[in-house]
Amino acid sequence: MRGVIAGTGGYLPARSVSNDALAAEKNLETSDSWIVERTGIRQRHFAAPGETASAMGIAACRDALAQAGATVDDVDGVIVATATPDSAFPSTAARIQGGLGVTRGFAFDLAAACTGFIYALSVADAMIRAGQARGVLVVGAEIYSRILDWSDRGTCVLFGDGAGAVLLRAAQAGEGDRGLLSTHLHADGRHGDILQVDGGAGSTGGTGVVRMAGREVFKHAVTKLASAVDEALAANGLGYDDVAWLVPHQANIRIIEAMGRKLHLPLDRVVVTVDRHANTSAASIPLALAEATRDGRIKQGDLVLMEAIGGGLTWGAALARF
């Protein structure tokens, strides 16, 4: 057995904030041209007061179930990748499970920062292959607007809020070659301090906001993502020409373009949402998948390569046939 992405879903908060509006609202010494040139970001969405990661995740899950033609009776578990949970416990996954009306199976959160969706997808696929589940909702849900230092213009302009989800459903391996072919996960905790949240529930200090050494992260991103991509293709006996679509983590247009060049893919075969969504961390890949499956870019039979890097450092890649 293997997991097949049967449905995708996404949710973005109603409030969209342009670069100029953000600079004015937060009194930042920056400009639209400065942000666009360095990141590709033009706007982002921010959650409303009282809006939670679980509420956004529930909406994304309902969207994914609808696209798959499935109901809550098809769900054996919920795995949520998030760095901004509603609470330490119960998990955001349990809250989503309850909100959807799923009354059986498992629910848990997973923390791998921006790589979280790839990690969660890998865990869900492994459970399906082991026979522990036949339908798993894999969710990325983030509200980074609540963990940003608004005086740090190099970091606070990069992030947005949102949620994305997929329904991973069991199918017989080899059945039209559809499904998740492989996932490849990595971490190196020696570099954890270059991208972190400074403090948290179990910390003895810190401010609880995102801290990032941007140049260091960029240096690691391109080399580590390229290695993970090569690893995924080699594991399946495939080459760059076999990839129909690259769906990368949406952190920075320069990193995205570098990965497109690595795969010899023109930018029109790379799903890009960073200009409109900014960096939504674990939600960025499933949000991009939801957009590209709905507008007809990603079609059944397409080979899709997903990759991400995040705090930890964590990084990884996943290869799926839609």
Q: Could you tell me which residues are beta bridge partners of residue 108?
A: 79
Q: How do residues 59-74 score in pLDDT, each as one tens digit?
A: 999 999 999 999 999 9
Instruction: Please determine, for residue 211, whether its predicted confidence score (pLDDT) is greater than 90.
Output: yes
The answer to whether the 2-171 and 179-321 domains have the same CATH topology is yes
**Catalytic-role residue among 114, 156, 252, 277:** 114
Q: What is the reported pLDDT for 316? A: 98
**Catalytic-role residue among 184, 191, 277, 279:** 279
**Catalytic-role residue among 45, 184, 191, 249:** 249
Q: What is the reported pLDDT for 176? A: 62
Domain ranges of the chain: 2-171, 179-321
156 has catalytic annotation: no
Evaluate the CA torsion angle 25, 29, 31, 35 in order and state its sign.
Answer: negative
Give percent above pLDDT 70 in the chain: 99
| 28 Cβ contact list (under 8 Å, min separation 6) | 22, 150, 153, 156, 157
Evaluate the CA torsion angle 39, 45, 49, 52 in order and state its sign.
Answer: negative
Q: Which of 139, 65, 76, 74 is nearest to 106 (CA)?
A: 76
Q: Which of 288, 21, 6 is nearest to 162 (CA)?
A: 288
Which CATH superfamily groups domain 179-321? Thiolase/Chalcone synthase (3.40.47.10)
Which CATH superfamily groups domain 2-171? Thiolase/Chalcone synthase (3.40.47.10)
45 has catalytic annotation: no
279 has catalytic annotation: yes
Q: How do residues 232-254 score in pLDDT, each as one tens digit?
A: 999 999 999 999 999 999 999 99
Instruction: Please determine, for residue 175, whether its predicted confidence score (pLDDT) is greater than 90.
Output: no
The CA distance from 7 to 196, in Å, is 32
